[in-house]
Every structure is written in structure tokens, then in C-alpha cells.
């Protein structure tokens, strides 16, 4: 039996594939942005090595660590960007 409820303690969605998606208890905006950014959903884009890639605001694909939450490229460094183009 599934316990209904709301928020992080809701019973629906806590089991199965979506139970580990990290979105239970988050607000709608966070969920929509995660879908839009390719962080969750039925399709997650990766490079040949299996690293997640996302499209930046310039329309090109980069390692997900190289793009900030607004779609801007980070500066080159430990989690580089233009230096780490995919």
C-alpha cells in the first residue's frame, strides 16, 4: 500500500526508478529546470566516455561541470569550460 502525502515525506514516488532521482521534495521550478538542463528525464546526454554533457547558452555541448545553472560557461580551472569542450 502506498501512503499519500505531500513534500519530502510523500509515499508516492519514493519507490522505483523515480525514487532515486533526487527531485522528491523539491519545488516545481527545480524540477522543470532539471528536465530542461538534461539532469533528469528519459534522456540524459553523454559523451563517448559516459560523462554527462549539457548545451550551454551558446548552443554548443559541454561537459556538465563546465556549465553553470544559468547555462553560462564557467572560466577555465579545475572544472574547466572552453578548455574542456565536448
For 34, what's the count of Cα atoms within 13 Å in the CB-facing half-sphere? 14
pTM of the complete model = 0.45
Q: What angle do CA 30, 18, 62 make, to 5 degrees?
A: 55
The pLDDT score that the predictor gives to residue 86 is 47
Q: Are 37 and 57 in contact (CB under 8 A)?
A: no
List of residues 6+ apart from 84 with CB closer than 8 A: 62, 63, 65, 66
Residue 65 pLDDT class (50, 70, 90 cuts): very high
Per cent of the chain over pLDDT 90 is 26
Q: Which phi and psi angles does 8 have, rounded to 5°? A: -65, -20
Amino acid at each position: 500500500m502506498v501512503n499519500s502525502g505531500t513534500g519530502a515525506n510523500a509515499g508516492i514516488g519514493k519507490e522505483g526508478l523515480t525514487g532515486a532521482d533526487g527531485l522528491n521534495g523539491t519545488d516545481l521550478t527545480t524540477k522543470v529546470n532539471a528536465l530542461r538542463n538534461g539532469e533528469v528525464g528519459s534522456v540524459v546526454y553523454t559523451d563517448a566516455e559516459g560523462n554527462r554533457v549539457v548545451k550551454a547558452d551558446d548552443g554548443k555541448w559541454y561537459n556538465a561541470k563546465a556549465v553553470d545553472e544559468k547555462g553560462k560557461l564557467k572560466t577555465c580551472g579545475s572544472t574547466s569550460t572552453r578548455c574542456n569542450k565536448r
